[in-house]
A and B are shown apart, each in its own frame.
Chain A
Amino acid sequence: MNISSVAIGQYIPGESLVHRLDPRTKIALSLVVVVALFIVKSAWAYAALGALIIGTVAAAHVPLKMVLRGLRPLLFVMVLTFGLHLFMDPGEPIFRIGKIVATDKGLAQGLITVARLSLLIMATSIVTLTTSPIAFTDGLESLLKPLSFVGVPAHELAMMMTIALRFIPTLLEETDKIMKAQMARGADFETGNIAKRARAMIPILVPLFVSAFRRADELAMAMEARCYRGGQGRTRLRQLRLGSLDVAALVLVTVYAVAVVAVL
């Protein structure tokens, strides 16, 4: 069911142009944009890339709120970085707070750094918001496959990601059950200092680990019973195919990004 996927991988199902792109296209383009963000320096360039990203968000019919939510964990870092640039960078003073001086160049640099961070996160968020976990792992596997010649286990990595995604909700449920069972025996996970609380986690972590190993064992047996023997000779139900939409997106976005880097 789709609602649960929203909780995990941030995926919001939909039929927009962005949703319909091949996952490989989205992963590749997000890389292009990220690289561009690291190269450019001018405010105009950031504005242009920002416009591209916001435009994509609009095209994806994803509420801006969801995209901005991805910024929340880094809010503290961004404010800190902004403050450091504002008050530490050399330049013409704008205002003072006691002995601390805010400079114009500091303001500019602070804004640029914050902009870069935000746009980076937003660019990658678009991928996870519009791509289902399966499609994402398929795309990643496909992109990494050429690298298997140099020893990158593309199929195994994709399989591990799939299994991890599959079991996250199950493991969360189990953690909850174990916590409740230990609380029923008087365990307390809330009070006490860091050391005490860390120790209190043992009655949860040990059973969880024991159970995880047992699961892995049983799952492996079930997989082998269904003739799993690695990636050799495997076919896929779902086939990834690049369509005209993908080609158009790849060309347009890459050209735009290159133009921004070169000109601005």
Chain B
Amino acid sequence: MSDTIIEVRDVCYTYMRGTPLARQALANVNVSIERGELVAIIGRTGSGKSTLIQHFNGLLKPDSGSVVVGGRDIWRKGVALRDIRRKVGLVFQYPEHQLFEETVAADIAFAPRNLAMSEAEVDEAVREAMRVVDLDYDALCARSPFELSGGQKRRVAIAGVLAMRPEVLVLDEPTAGMDPRGREEVLAEIRQLHETHGYTIVLVSHSMEDVARFAERLIVMDGGAVVMEGSPREVFRNREDLVRMGLGVPQVTGLMAELAARGLPYAEDVITVEEALHTLLPALLGAPSASASASASAGAGAGTRAGNGEGEVGE
């Protein structure tokens, strides 16, 4: 029996209400996050996902509806928003833009200090947070955060939120602006936070292929409302709707759909390369033109070059 750690009930929110620029960002949104989950929220820019996550930790107050964290309505009198912000750690996009302290340790300590932890607790929190994101405390604690590489800065920023020891970690596009290597590192770290350290994680992402690999549940937003919800496999079945919403599906999922349209229906709910491989391989090895050359190729093994590859050209 899992417990719900965040619950958003019938929330509506309009930016710049009462002015000619008013824009409704959330319309009767209902979302619940269970403890221990790894949930991804997807949707195009303007769908309301950033607005939604800012309701999770009380940065925005709904015009109507309620937000319940750990069983308590956070907008009821007597609830300290600082407590909620400790419980629900929010990492914004490009979090490295919030660094400001003279040393890495001081910056990571910002949140614990704001929460009035004792200096001993603060120090422990900083060390632990740096350990979790794979930053060497001794090497980096006294350096200026502005001297670090982009990837390191981002990890310092994430550590700054982890140092609060939140129960839920909400990350808004943690891989924004990163190259493939950087993306893989961040995603691996998130997976570790979830599997090894037990964090409940809410991920906002644009990459269907990333969420297909990691998320247990997807929440799809469009025009300020939740339009789809379910496991990645379930959600990606609605390929046409997703494309219409400007989202799409993982490339391999699209591949299987195209094959089906060509009269070659293999398993439809394939969402990763591994799954596609396992589905297609038997079919291709058993294909009429395949049998003769299959054994020859298999013998040659991996490393067969495709087409007219010319090998490496160096300078």
Contacts and interface: CB of A to CB of B under 8 A. Distances in A.
A177 interface: yes
B98 A181 contact: yes
B97 A184 contact: no
B110 interface: yes
Nearest to B81: A183
Contact of B86 (A174, A177, A178, A186): A186
A interface SS class: helix
Interface residues of A, number: 20
Nearest to A4: B21
A177 to B, nearest CB: 7
Interface string A21-64: 00000000000000000000000000000000000000000000
B100 interface: yes
Interface string B92-119: 1001011110000000001100110000
A181 B100 CA distance: 12
Nearest to B93: A177
A211 interface: yes
Interface residues of B, number: 25
B164 to A, nearest CB: 7
Interface string B236-258: 00000000000000000000000
A182 interface: yes
Nearest to B82: A186
Contact of B98 (A4, A182, A186, A188): A182
Contacts of A194: none
A241 to B, nearest CB: 33
A178 B95 CA distance: 9
B85 A184 contact: yes
- Which 7 residue pairs of A and B lie closest in terms of their CB atoms, listed nearest first? A186-B114, A206-B100, A185-B111, A181-B98, A184-B90, A181-B92, A203-B100
Interface of A: 3-4, 174, 177-178, 180-188, 202-203, 206-207, 210-211
Given A182-B110, A183-B85, 19 more contacts: A3-B20, A174-B97, A180-B54, A184-B57, A184-B85, A184-B161, A185-B110, A186-B85, A186-B86, A186-B110, A186-B111, A186-B115, A188-B114, A202-B100, A203-B100, A203-B110, A206-B100, A207-B99, A210-B146
